[in-house]
């Protein structure tokens, strides 16, 4: 299988050397057609690092991940392509296992593995705990991200490319749009890449707040073609926050990580506050 490799970047010099070196290590050179980085105006050494590692750098035609991903899609020449983020260090078995998913199963629009935070990250255990509960993921979105993914190019173009969103949640949209066209998005749960977030709790707070801000837009737009989030609203997030001390105790006992007693209720609070911010932003946008 010949593939194009694409990545969107912004000031990624801290993680990019490791990330690009691993990609070159695990994906056979003979399987790669072109390597494209879509840069969002980096002020550090990102472009220099990319070019030294054999990647062609193009300017994002818009701003942010949605536009960067669609800029990349315009230049894809192969039937399948891989997308990566600048801070995901791939598992050594990523290529062999994920490529097998998309080649050996009929009707697959996308395939990926999982990625986890470093163990010294305060919020490390949240995602491994979710993995233990993947069979209760009623929405079907667990593990589906854009950052270590092989795409069926025709399927992605059929749904109009990557949706434009104002906060986060592109992967959720793509998953449901592919599903509406009869395509599967498969995840190999045994492939565990490293998400290079060495940041402390404050930066994780900002990240989850950002995710929460995306929810009103996701819910309102997806309701136009799916009822999957019909019962999701501010009240459900508030109830989950109230339950979070009990949930965090159960999680910390199962994962043997007392940090969950502190970080999980904070994460739930961030989702709630972010949601309120996202609703306010939506209301302002409608008025304008």
pLDDT band at 288 (very low <50, low <70, confident <90, very high): low
User: Looking at the chain, which residues constitute the CATH 3.90.550.10 domain(s)?
Assistant: 3-195
> Taking 70 as the threshold, does the pLDDT of residue 284 lie above it?
no
pLDDT (0 to 100) of residue 66:
94
How does DSSP classify residue 165? -
pLDDT (0 to 100) of residue 210:
94
User: pTM of the full predicted structure?
Assistant: 0.93
pLDDT (0 to 100) of residue 281:
84
pLDDT in tens, 44-83: 999 999 999 999 999 999 999 999 999 999 999 999 999 9
pLDDT in tens, 136-168: 777 788 999 999 999 999 999 999 999 998 888
Region 223-245: mean pLDDT is 92
Is residue 280 within 8 A of residue 136, CB to CB? The reply is no
Q: What are the backbone dihedrals phi and psi of residue 7, each rounded to the nearest 5 degrees, phi first?
A: -150, 145
pLDDT (0 to 100) of residue 170:
93
Q: What dihedral do alpha carbons 46, 50, 56, 59 form, nearest 10°?
A: -10
pLDDT in tens, 194-217: 999 866 788 899 999 999 999 999
d(CA 194, CA 118): 7
The C-alpha R_g of the chain, in whole angstroms, comes to 19
Q: What are the backbone dihedrals phi and psi of residue 47, each rounded to the nearest 5 degrees, phi first?
A: -65, -45
Q: What are the backbone dihedrals phi and psi of residue 34, each rounded to the nearest 5 degrees, phi first?
A: -145, 155
Region 78-102: mean pLDDT is 97
pLDDT (0 to 100) of residue 38:
98
- For residue 3, give Cα distances in angstroms to 120, 130, 190, 287: 34, 31, 23, 44
> Taking 80 as the threshold, does the pLDDT of residue 240 lie above it?
yes
Of 137-146, 166-175, 180-189, 272-281, least confident by mean pLDDT is 137-146
Is residue 56 within 8 A of residue 123, CB to CB? The reply is no
Beta-sheet strands, E only, within 168-271: 184-195
* Among 203, 115, 109, CA closest to 156: 109
pLDDT band at 225 (very low <50, low <70, confident <90, very high): confident
Is residue 207 within 8 A of residue 273, CB to CB? The reply is no
pLDDT band at 224 (very low <50, low <70, confident <90, very high): confident
CA atoms within 13 A on the CB side of 182: 4
* Residues ≥6 apart with Cβ < 8 Å to 42: 9, 10, 11, 12, 13
| Percent of the chain at pLDDT exceeding 70 | 97
pLDDT (0 to 100) of residue 285:
67
pLDDT (0 to 100) of residue 39:
98
Q: What dihedral do alpha carbons 41, 10, 68, 63 form, nearest 10°?
A: -50
pLDDT (0 to 100) of residue 1:
87
How does DSSP classify residue 14? T
Q: What dihedral do alpha carbons 42, 47, 50, 56 form, nearest 10°?
A: 110
| Percent of the chain at pLDDT exceeding 90 | 83
pLDDT band at 287 (very low <50, low <70, confident <90, very high): low
- Could you tell me which CATH class the domain 3-195 is placed in? alpha beta
* Among 38, 32, 114, 9, CA closest to 81: 32
* Among 164, 126, 168, 140, CA closest to 264: 126
Is residue 115 within 8 A of residue 188, CB to CB? The reply is no
């Amino acid at each position: 299988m010949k593939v194009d490799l694409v990545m969107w970047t912004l000031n990624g010099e801290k993680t990019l050397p490791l990330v690009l070196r691993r990609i070159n290590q695990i994906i056979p050179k003979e399987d790669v057609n072109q390597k494209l980085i879509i840069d969002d105006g980096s002020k550090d050494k990102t472009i220099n690092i990319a070019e030294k590692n054999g990647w062609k750098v193009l300017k994002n035609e818009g701003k942010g991940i949605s536009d960067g991903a669609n800029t990349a899609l315009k230049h894809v020449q192969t039937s399948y392509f891989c997308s990566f983020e600048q801070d995901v260090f791939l598992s050594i078995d990523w290529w062999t296992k994920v490529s097998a998913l998309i080649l050996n199963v009929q009707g697959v629009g996308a395939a990926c593995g999982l990625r986890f935070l470093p163990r010294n990250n305060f919020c490390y255990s949240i995602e491994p705990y979710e993995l233990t509960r993947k069979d209760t993921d009623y929405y079907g979105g667990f593990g589906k991200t854009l950052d270590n993914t092989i795409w069926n190019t025709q399927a992605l173009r059929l749904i109009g490319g990557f949706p434009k969103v104002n906060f986060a949640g592109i992967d959720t949209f793509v998953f449901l749009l592919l599903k509406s066209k009869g395509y599967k998005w498969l995840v190999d749960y045994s492939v565990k890449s490293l998400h290079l977030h060495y940041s402390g709790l404050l930066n994780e707070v900002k990240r989850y707040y950002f995710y929460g801000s995306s929810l009103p837009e996701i819910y309102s737009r997806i309701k136009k073609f799916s009822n999957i989030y019909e019962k999701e609203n501010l009240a459900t997030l508030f109830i989950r926050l109230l339950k979070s001390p009990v949930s965090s105790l159960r999680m910390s006992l199962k994962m043997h990580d007392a940090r969950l007693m502190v970080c999980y209720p904070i994460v739930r609070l961030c989702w709630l506050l972010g949601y309120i911010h996202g609703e306010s932003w939506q209301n302002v946008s409608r008025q304008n």
